[in-house]
């Protein structure tokens, strides 16, 4: 192993040594505690310390890092107190995630470290978003994301590198190639000679280095960082290394040939650097002993403090409270003034106006999506915005939904607001992991909000078939941490979209495509919000209550007009998560007969959840069982006649008759 001192002072070399040694000594102690049952799980980075330490030392403290579970050196080099880290590893309340996360699945905004999720790849797209924020603000900074050799096989790796290349983002992707993805050797993971070869395909530079050489890592990342900032370009760094323990301790290392351990023992990053510093007379055996004793004393002292942690007592109210971030400013909601008239506008115009006024209101709001710039989006909702606000803020994206959702989260971490247009709600499936596991959980996990809106053109009635017409809102209603909004009128489309953009939480904003140009109504020209989580009473009546949303509101309203002898109470939910339970209860009380109407398929639709809630909380008000009217449990077909038969409205009269005749 060749070390090149260059012009580094003895003080710098010793600082590198101390930061390199500390995570190793902590890990050795943690392995003892693991055997003693004092921590529950451990992912060892022994043998890989030079990468996380060298990378982190080459950065400024306020540059975001996206580490994985073998990067203890990132946390220690960022001076996170060991006592609090230890509390985190024990699952204590006063760790970094209030006992809600394990080992290294947590982050800290104070230390500019973004907590990983187990799916590995999504970390890289978050780095794209942070780097975009740096680029937009003119900051001389880079974002850094770690991945392993196994993670490079994931689609998120491709998407993140592609977006970084296309958008010229100052981001460094670091591959820790330790030869194995759990037990699978690299020979069974990829066929290129080296992973750094992939860089060229994304239009970026790359380099392969010795990941066990602390000076090579440190010097390379410093140079790469300067390159990324000066040229506003991404860079791929492949660090060759080896892990001396199992994927995690329980998995062992039997799958690794014994001779490899002998080979890599000779490449130990700490022993070799220590020997070099002795040769250079930067350190002596005595000073090394002093440094090790100092580390040992620090570890024991911090662990003593770390053990002093009160037992976790579950507080249900606090758990529920921490699902969402709360806005700093109290919203000002729309209030109708008697006698006031507003211009008639289409549903699509309400959305357009909400977006336009939000862009005026928030100069840190970034719009992203396929074809949304000059083309104006698939439904022309963003048409004209690029001319008003520029391509920096109205951004066309490659076809990579996962990376763009991740980038939206990264923007939020740097204080930006992000709106992503999912070209069709159906396409969210390829960004599902980011939505469900990153956006939804991040505030609960470590207090980082996700100020992200995803617009979801949804629904049938337009003859677009199974992949452009499905209703998938129920997937997200099941996910704590998200908000799910589904307007049915132009005024709600505008007011709820503005509210969603102002909300510091991730909001999925469903827009029924068939309503875009078919529905009109009065829309105030002012900038206003309609409260998320509050249903709207469409009309009163004493015979039966229809609880619905989206296109269902118009089906119910038309049905009531067509059957004037029937007094129908209609409730438009508007928000599906969180639900307005007080309004649902009022609807059940009003008539004693409740019909739940939605375009989504019957099984697993939100109607089942509401029906269960009514049965549990409103049973004494009911004069009949709650009836659900939903679409067939099939994919939505293309042929118009088949689609009509599929849709819930084709069974509405039958369901009403059944309820009224009970």
Annotated catalytic residues are 468
**Tally of CB atoms within 10 A around 81:** 13
Smallest CA-to-CA distance from 631 within 646, 643, 642 is with 646
- What is the rounded radius of gyration, in angstroms, for the C-alpha atoms of the chain? 28
Q: Is 286 helix (H, G, I), strand (E, B) or coil?
A: helix
Please name every residue paired with 395 in a beta bridge, in sequence order, or none if there are none: 368
First-to-last C-alpha distance (Å) of the chain = 84
Q: How many CB atoms lie within 10 A of CB 449?
A: 20
What is the residue-wise DSSP string for 125-154? HHHHHHHHHHHHHT----EEEEEETGGGGS
Q: In sequence order, what DSSP letters do the residues of 450-471 get, joined into one string?
A: --EEEEEEE--SSS--TTTS--
CB atoms under 10 Å from CB of 655, counted, come to 18
Half-sphere exposure of 36 (CA within 13 A, CB side): 8
Q: Is the dihedral of CA 232, 238, 239, 245 positive or negative?
A: positive
- Bridge partners for 458 per DSSP: 512
Exposed/middle/buried for residue 498 (C-beta within 10 Å: 0-12, 13-18, 19+): buried
65: nearest Cα among 155, 171, 140, 156: 171
Separation between Cα atoms, residue 125 and residue 159, nearest integer Å: 8
d(CA 433, CA 440): 10
Contact of 72 with 29, CB cutoff 8 Å:
no
Helix (H, G, I), strand (E, B) or coil at 609: helix
Which residue, 145, 202, 148, is CA-closest to 406?
A: 145
Pairing of strands 520-522, 344-346: antiparallel
Structure tokens at 533: 């989580």
């Amino acid at each position: 192993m060749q070390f090149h001192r260059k012009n580094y002072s003895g003080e710098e070399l010793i600082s590198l040594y101390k930061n390199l040694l500390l995570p190793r000594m902590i890990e050795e102690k943690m392995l003892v505690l693991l055997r003693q049952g004092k921590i529950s799980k451990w992912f060892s980075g022994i043998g890989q310390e030079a990468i996380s330490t060298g990378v982190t030392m080459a950065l400024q403290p306020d540059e975001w890092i996206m580490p994985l579970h073998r990067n203890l050196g990132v946390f220690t080099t960022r001076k996170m107190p060991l006592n609090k880290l230890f509390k985190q590893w024990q699952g204590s309340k006063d760790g970094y995630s209030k006992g809600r996360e394990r080992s290294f699945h947590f982050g800290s905004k104070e230390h500019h470290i973004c907590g990983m999720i187990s799916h590995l790849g999504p970390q890289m797209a978050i780095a794209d978003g942070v780097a975009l924020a740096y680029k937009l603000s003119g900051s001389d900074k880079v974002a850094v994301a770690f991945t392993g050799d196994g993670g490079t096989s994931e689609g998120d790796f491709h998407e993140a590198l592609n977006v970084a290349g296309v958008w010229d983002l100052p981001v460094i992707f670091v591959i820790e190639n330790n030869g194995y993805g759990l037990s699978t050797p690299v020979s069974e993971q990829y066929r290129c000679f080296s992973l750094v070869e992939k860089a060229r395909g994304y239009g970026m530079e790359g380099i392969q280095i010795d990941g066990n050489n602390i000076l090579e890592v440190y010097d390379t990342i410093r140079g790469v960082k300067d390159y990324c900032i000066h040229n506003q370009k991404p860079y791929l760094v492949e660090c060759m290394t080896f892990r001396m323990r199992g994927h995690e301790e329980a998995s062992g290392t039997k799958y690794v040939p014994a001779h490899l351990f002998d080979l890599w023992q000779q490449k130990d990053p700490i022993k070799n650097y220590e020997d070099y510093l002795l040769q250079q007379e930067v350190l002596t055996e005595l000073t090394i002993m002093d440094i090790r004793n100092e580390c040992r004393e620090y570890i024991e002292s911090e662990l003593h403090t770390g053990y002093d942690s009160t037992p976790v007592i579950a507080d249900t109210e606090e758990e529920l409270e921490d699902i969402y971030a709360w806005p700093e400013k109290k919203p000002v909601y729309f209030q109708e003034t008697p006698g006031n008239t507003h211009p008639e506008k289409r549903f699509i115009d309400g959305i357009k106006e909400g977006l336009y006024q939000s862009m005026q209101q928030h100069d840190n709001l970034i719009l992203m999506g396929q074809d949304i710039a000059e083309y104006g989006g698939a439904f022309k909702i963003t048409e004209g915005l690029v001319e008003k606000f520029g391509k920096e803020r109205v951004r066309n994206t490659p076809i990579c939904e996962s990376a763009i959702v991740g980038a939206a989260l990264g923007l939020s971490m740097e204080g930006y607001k992000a709106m992503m247009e999912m070209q069709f709600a159906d396409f969210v499936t390829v960004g599902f992991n980011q939505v469900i596991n990153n956006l939804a959980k991040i505030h609960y996990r470590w207090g980082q909000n996700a100020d992200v809106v995803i617009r979801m053109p949804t629904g049938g009635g337009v003859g677009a078939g199974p992949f452009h017409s499905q209703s998938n809102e129920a997937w997200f209603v099941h996910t704590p941490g998200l908000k799910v909004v589904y307007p049915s009128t132009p005024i709600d489309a505008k007011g709820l979209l503005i509210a969603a953009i102002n909300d510091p939480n991730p909001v999925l904003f469903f827009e029924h495509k068939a309503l875009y140009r078919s529905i009109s109504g009065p829309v105030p020209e002012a900038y206003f919000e309609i409260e998320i989580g509050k249903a709207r009473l469409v009309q009163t009546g004493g015979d039966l209550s229809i609880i619905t949303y989206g296109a269902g509101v118009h089906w119910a309203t038309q049905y009531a007009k067509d059957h004037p002898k029937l007094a129908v109470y209609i409730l438009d939910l508007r928000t599906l998560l969180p639900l307005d339970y007080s309004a649902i209860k009022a609807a059940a009380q009003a008539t004693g007969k409740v019909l739940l109407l939605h375009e989504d398929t019957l099984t697993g639709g939100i109607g089942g959840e509401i029906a269960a809630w009514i049965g549990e909380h409103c049973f004494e008000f009911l004069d009949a069982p709650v009836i659900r009217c939903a679409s067939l449990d099939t994919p939505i077909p293309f042929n118009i006649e088949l689609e009509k038969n599929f849709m819930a409205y084709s069974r509405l009269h039958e369901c009403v008759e059944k309820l009224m005749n009970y």
